[in-house]
Amino acid sequence: MEDKQLAFKAEEYSLPIFIILLLIVLFSGNAALSVFLGILFSLIVNPKETFFSIKIGTLPLQIGIIFLGTTINLPYAWSIGSDYFFWIAVFVISTFFLGIFLGKVFGVHHRMTFMLSAGAAICGGTAIAAVAPIIKAKPQEILISITIIFLLNALAILVFPIIGSSLNMSNYQFGVWSALAIHDTSSVMAAALLYSDESAQVAATLKLGRTFWIIPLLLISSWFFKNETKKIKFPRFIIFFLIAILSNTLLDFGDNFLLILKNISQCLLLIGLFCIGTQSNISSLRLLSIRPVILAIGLWLVVIPLSYIIVLL
């Protein structure tokens, strides 16, 4: 009875609690803290699906990435993309098929294997949500897959900057490594922002290049599972990110204006990461089973050193 009363009171004060935690996030400027305070909000309040931070999804993060694009010019983006275009292709394809192979070895159901492999190879929860209706995944399978990816991403935000510092990685190298080795765009940006602003620019450019692979993934999935009724859902904010890069290149923004855009981008990224944290569903941990977890961890333990080798090439 007392637990229900506490939950009711927390829900009643959900907006003030949200505002207080968000102000702490913006004042700290710390990406990892943004995510974990969002998770704390979810634990305290257990917000309903109608709560605005859940309804808006990843929109603030996407807008923040678009603003980040205005601080990058086309020659810089092209130099990064052209250097790693081939290696991103190798990485995505090899990671996906390695996941399929490991899924068979560990005896994981083929739908779960497909989603976890797609998430590890391309863009985490986005890829899982995109392929799920095509492969006719069950709601519980989707929830388990996304929960596993979420847990690994949360760990990456904390651990990757520490590993990067211990390995004396440059800002550029860390941006490349985080863009390849971490699943979700939100966690890539959180880890990269913790390292440096330059790392965030590099990571955003390469990660969105990696996300483009969602198109062939969905086409192949539709063909393999003989599903012609589902429309391909491509993350449209990537197009706006490219337009933002072009606008900086063509208009040649001055240093003062770039500083303003950079600050706006950082605030939006922090807000976006906080909102994503509020969308966590801790109760879904009860649904986890050992084999999919072993598959995801085993695949990640291969991906992390593989992506680091690519950075060194």
Task: Provide the token pair at 146.
Answer: 């996304």
Residue 269: predicted pLDDT: 86
Q: Which of 103, 178, 95 minimizes the C-alpha distance to 135?
A: 103
Residue scoring higher pLDDT (117 or 142): 117
The pLDDT value recorded for residue 103 is 93
81-109 confidence digits (pLDDT tens): 788 888 989 999 999 999 999 999 999 98
**Res 286 pLDDT > 60:** yes
| 253-271 per-position pLDDT tens digit | 888 888 898 889 889 988 9
Q: Is the pLDDT of residue 159 over 90?
A: yes
- For the segment 65-82, what is each residue's pLDDT rounded down to a tens digit? 888 888 888 888 888 878
Instruction: Output the pLDDT for position 2.
Output: 46
Top-confidence range, 20-24, 139-143, 149-153: 20-24
Length of the chain: 313
Helices (H), 167-236: 171-181, 185-195, 197-211, 214-224
